[in-house]
Chains A and B, each alone.
Chain A
């Protein structure tokens, strides 16, 4: 496990604090993990300061944004109605789908590959719920601008509403698939750790991250339609690059290091920590997740803002 106190060493060294010259601190023990954590903290701090600078501008836009919150909620409700009205099993599908996938994969991986994972069904369903949330929301977010082309051509609406709406809708779907998780918990009689409600933390990180990514994708796909196909392949690769149905320690060490740059890995691990192992990830994990989420959001907002004025000429 990562030792969180390395953080203090790096900060102390960076600001040349007198404590550096105190021999009681051992700098040779600073790991890359410590450096990344400090880097993450610096990035988060930078984003927060940058945000404070643009705050007056945001405040001026606020009345306009509040005006459209009704649109946002109405569109989310519309999506839910359209999705569930026409199917006989309705909401049940959102629960049955992950359950059936879990049963199939449990059979496959407990008989053929025999990974030694305790409570494989739970391990899988928690991981795949997070994965489906991120890829599902970004995929529908990606297409949201193109699908609303007719509206964008005729009325003025702040355009980021479309990807945001899809991410929020995926959040509703996530809530339904958590029922599936609850069923698995009940059947396997998993211990109910007091940390389970903390699942909202990784879900929050993943939501911010997905919104940022959706902003980038939805703007890019307006100019280059084949990005949609490309992303389909990428999400497939993403599934194998995230330990959803295999144990992470199975990978060679170099792969384990490289995959630290996969944001989904951290969200999935975080969810499993609070859901299965009853522990709360430390400062480092939170810093990584936050940095991934904030950086993606900032890139998304900047990219989308630049691109949105020309949407109408390309859709």
Chain B
């Protein structure tokens, strides 16, 4: 069987200048005064793993351990400084809901815009439009400009759009807490339905209970290094003990 995602020896290095130099003037002055320093920061170091089709992979780690960086690399938003990431299959990044909503446009227009951002055609979105709106429970507000929406309404619409399509890889970064408790139940059910349909899921969550119940495999990242890769319960327990220690 072919792995659906293959991460081999990936290192992500950031140049962090101590003071942000973002103008020509600043750059010029500092070059002349020899004050141009960069600090290197490794968000990920030599991380390798494979994900198989149908895997529900959890990623745990403390804040700043490189979880989000790893997801962004897999989604193709960033490119690794070293190493390669091979990916086959369509991907739907649920990294932040409603990215790319245009405040001045109505919900209806934003559905098509957001669909286009994710690479779907107008016709494809038109076929699914009613389902998206009804799942987000926004029938009354579909012709209202997004800027008049509450944050919960925006998030619901974003979630609805991102999960209406059946991607082969779904990336979920701490978004299972969208909306009120009713919508939360509904969105968890939607994710489980996608998993049942054979979608490969990458899940980042600080709720170990959620990880243990949903995932069949877990990665533990610590300061950008892969510490452990294995069975969900085992890794979660080790992570809890190791982080406190």
Residues of A within 8 A of B (CB): 67-68, 70-71, 74-75, 78, 81-82, 85-86, 150-157, 223-227, 230, 309, 312-314
Contacts and interface: CB of A to CB of B under 8 A. Distances in A.
Contact of B77 (A68, A155, A223): A155
A155 B95 CA distance: 8
B119 A68 contact: yes
A226 B105 CA distance: 31
A67 B102 CA distance: 21
Which among A71, A86, A151, A157 has the highest number of chain B CB atoms within 10 Å? A71
Contacts of B118: 155
A156 B93 contact: yes
Interface string B36-76: 00000000000000000000000000000000000010011
18 contacts: A67-B119, A70-B115, A70-B119, A70-B120, A74-B112, A74-B116, A75-B113, A82-B102, A152-B77, A154-B77, A154-B93, A155-B99, A156-B75, A157-B117, A226-B24, A227-B24, A230-B24, A313-B15
A74 B121 CA distance: 10
A234 B241 CA distance: 61
Given A78-B109, A150-B100, A224 B117 contact: no
Which among B76, B77, B95 has the highest number of chain A CB atoms within 10 Å? B77
A156 B27 contact: no
Contacts of A151: 99-100, 117
A314 B15 CA distance: 10
Nearest to A311: B78
Q: Please tell me the size bucket of the interface on B.
A: 20 to 34
B100 A78 contact: no
A151 B95 CA distance: 11
A224 to B, nearest CB: 4
For the complex of A and B, the 8 pairs showing the least CB-CB separation, nearest first, are A154-B99, A156-B76, A71-B116, A226-B23, A74-B116, A224-B24, A151-B100, A70-B116
B79 interface: yes
Given A225-B22, A226-B23, A230-B24, A153 B77 contact: yes
A52 B75 CA distance: 31
A27 B104 CA distance: 64
Interface of B: 14-15, 22-25, 27, 72, 75-79, 93, 95-96, 99-100, 102, 104-105, 109, 112-113, 115-122
Contacts of A309: 78-79
Contacts of B23: 224-226
B122 A70 contact: yes
Contacts of B117: 71, 151, 155, 157
Which among B24, B105, B115 has the highest number of chain A CB atoms within 10 Å? B24
Contact of A312 (B78, B100, B104): B78
A131 to B, nearest CB: 25
A81 B104 CA distance: 9
B82 to A, nearest CB: 13
Contacts of A157: 117
Given A154-B93, A225-B23, A230-B24, A82 B76 contact: no
A157 B76 CA distance: 9
Given A71-B117, A226-B23, A230-B24, A155 B100 contact: yes
Contacts of A313: 14-15, 78
